[in-house]
């Protein structure tokens, strides 16, 4: 397919780039959100297990 026959998203040449950049930013934000949630859950589990093990060792 020749370069001139490619379908265009809009008449604004920068709109496709803006859309893809916004998609990348959204993906990165979701990645860090899930990473933080996963890390927080791991820390909570660690603290719970640590507190239980300290109680058991006191007895």
Quick one: average pLDDT of 11-28? 71
Max CA distance (Å), the chain: 79
Q: Identify the pLDDT of residue 5.
A: 58
Residue-level pLDDT at 15? 52
Asked if pLDDT for residue 24 goes beyond 70, the answer is yes
- How many Å is the Cα radius of gyration of the chain? 25
Domain presence at residue 52: yes
Residue 22 lies in a domain: yes
Which residue range(s) make up the domain with 34? 14-58
- Cα distance between residue 34 and residue 26, in whole Å: 12
Q: Is residue 19 part of a domain?
A: yes
Question: Average pLDDT, stretch 11-40?
Answer: 81
Say yes or no to pLDDT of 44 above 90: yes
Mean pLDDT of the chain: 79
Q: Is residue 6 part of a domain?
A: no
- For 8, residues 6+ apart whose C-beta sits below 8 A from its C-beta are 16
For residue 18, what pLDDT is reported?
58
**Stretch (H or E) spanning 7:** none
Total number of domains constituting the chain: 1
Q: What is the dihedral of CA 39, 41, 54, 52, to 10 degrees?
A: -160
């Amino acid at each position: 397919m020749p370069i001139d026959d490619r379908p265009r998203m809009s008449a604004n040449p920068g709109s496709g780039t803006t859309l893809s950049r916004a998609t990348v930013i959204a993906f990165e934000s979701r990645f860090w959100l899930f990473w933080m949630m996963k890390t927080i859950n791991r820390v909570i589990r660690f603290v719970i297990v640590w507190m239980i093990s300290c109680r058991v060792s006191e007895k």
